[in-house]
Amino acid sequence: MTQNWDIIIVGGGLAGYVAANYLAKTNLNILILEKGKSVGGRARTKKVNQQYFNLGPHALYRKGKAKPILEELGIHICGKSPKLGGILIENNIEYVAPFSPLQLFTTRLFHTKERREWIAVLFKLMSIKPENLAQQTYQQWVMQVAHSKIVKSLLYTLGRLATYCHAPEKMSAKVTVSSIKKAMGGVLYLDGGWMTMIGQLHHRAIRSGIHVQPHTFVKNIEPTQQNQIKLDLSDGREILGKNVLCTTGPHELNDMLSKKMAFPQRNFFTQMIPVRGATLDVALKQLPKQKRLFAMDTTKPLYYSVHSGYARLSEDPMNAILHVFKYHHPDEHIDSTITKNELELFLDKLQPGWQQYVISKRFIPNITVNQRLPQIGNERMLQSSKTGFPGLYIAGDWASPDSILADGAICSGKQAAEEIILNEKRKNHANNE
C-alpha cells in the first residue's frame, strides 16, 4: 500500500512535535512516524509506581528560547525553580557553592584573591556578548579570563552544568557562554516531568488532524522520479511525501538516506560528535539528609540534584526523586560497572544510607544528551533546515545554529515548519501563475 502525504515528520520528540504544531495551522496532510512504542523521544517520562522518572535530569531554561515557543503554541509549563546554590565538592571536601551573593562571600572555597577573581569573572560573564567568542574554544576562553585553579575548575563545572558537554578543549566558547548566561537566569523542574509538554503537543497535533504512527521505523529514504520522496517502513510499506522533515540524530539520518541523496552538508552531519553521559535515576521513600538538594563535583564530572525538592514528581509528597549524573568525555572508554559504582559512591557521600530507602532506581550507562557537541564554525553549516536536497528538511537538538538541548530541538522544529510553509506558498504561487 502506498500513501501520499504533504509532510512526513520522522521522529516524535520535541523537535518533531513542535514542527507539527506549527504546520497544523496549514491545511496540509501531515504524518509523524516514530520508531518507539510511545512518543516523546528523550523528553519522555516514565511513570514507575507513583513516581515520574524523566530520562535523566531535565531542567528547562527560564530565559531560554524553548519556553516562549512552547507558550506561543499554548503549552502550559508548570514547575518550580530550584534555589541557587548547594554543595560543591573539591578534592573530596564539601563547600558551599558560590552561586548566590551571600554564598559568594561566605563560602570557604576561596582565598581572598580567588574570591575577587571569581566575582570579576561573574561580572564578565554577565556583560560579555557570546557572538564575540565564535572563534574560540571554551577552554581558550577560560584560560584568558581565569588564572587560579579553582576559578578555572568552577568555570568548567558551570560549563558542564549548562551544556552537559565535558570537552572544553573541543566545544565552542560562544555556545557554552551563551548557555551559562541562560542557566544564570534559572531553570524549571517540571511537575509531572517533561512528558507533560509532549502530552500537550501530541493532543494538539491529533486534534488538528495530524496522524501519528508509533512503532514504525523508517528504514530508507530516497527520491522518486516524480520529485517526491519515498520512505521504506519497518512494516514493509512504502509511503510518499512531498516534504520530509527528519528529526532523528545526524548519524541515523545518514543511515536512512539513500546514496542518491547527495547534498553539501551530508558529510558534515556524519562528523558530528554526540554529547553523552550516564544517569542514575532514583526514587526514595525519603531523603536521609533532607536539606541536601544539589551538588556538583569540581574535580570529577559529577552532578546530583533532587528534582522533587521543587517539582511534583511523585504522588506521595514524602518521596524523593533524584538524579545522579556523570558527564562523559567524547574520547572516554565507558565501563558500565565502574561508572555505576562511581555514581552510587557519589550518592553515598551526599545521602548516606540512601540504599535502605530505595523504591526504584534506573541506571543508564551511556545516553545521548545532545546529538551534537557544539564546535567552532558549526553555525555556518546550520543556518537553514533545508538540506540542499529538495523537500528534505532537518530539525533536532543538533540542527540549530546557536542552541543545543531542548532549546535547539524546539527552535529548529519551529524554523523547519516556517521554512516548509514558505516553500509551499512559493510553489502554490508559481503554480497559479
**Chain residues in the site for ligand FAD (CB under 6 A):** 10-16, 33-36, 41-43, 55-59, 217-218, 247-248, 252, 256, 277, 279, 367, 369-370, 396-397, 405-407, 409
Cβ of residue 194: shortest distance to ligand FAD, in angstroms?
7
Cβ of residue 337: shortest distance to ligand FAD, in angstroms?
20
Rank residues 16 and 152 by Cβ distance to ligand FAD and give the closer one. 16
Cβ of residue 44: shortest distance to ligand FAD, in angstroms?
8
Give the three cell numbers for residue 298: 569540581
The letter for the amino acid at 65 is K
Q: Long-range CB contacts (< 8 A, 24+ apart) of 265-272?
A: 265/381, 265/387, 265/388, 266/387, 268/381, 272/371, 272/372, 272/373, 272/398
Cβ of residue 6: shortest distance to ligand FAD, in angstroms?
18
Give the three cell numbers for residue 148: 587560579
Rank residues 150 and 365 by Cβ distance to ligand FAD and give the closer one. 365
DSSP 81: P
State the Cα–Cα distance between residues 185 and 172, nearest whole angstrom.
21
Rank residues 397 and 419 by Cβ distance to ligand FAD and give the closer one. 397
Cα radius of gyration (the chain): 22
Classified as helix, coil or strand, 248 is coil
Cβ of residue 373: shortest distance to ligand FAD, in angstroms?
13
Cβ of residue 358: shortest distance to ligand FAD, in angstroms?
20
State the Cα–Cα distance between residues 178 and 125, nearest whole angstrom.
9
Rank residues 15 and 287 by Cβ distance to ligand FAD and give the closer one. 15
Give the three cell numbers for residue 50: 507513583
Cβ of residue 252: shortest distance to ligand FAD, in angstroms?
4
Classified as helix, coil or strand, 5 is strand
Rank residues 104 and 159 by Cβ distance to ligand FAD and give the closer one. 159
Rank residues 121 and 369 by Cβ distance to ligand FAD and give the closer one. 369
Interacting residues of 305 by C-beta distance below 8 A, sequence separation 6+:
57, 82, 86, 293, 294, 295, 322, 323
Rank residues 117 and 407 by Cβ distance to ligand FAD and give the closer one. 407
Residue recorded with cell 555556545: 175
The letter for the amino acid at 216 is T
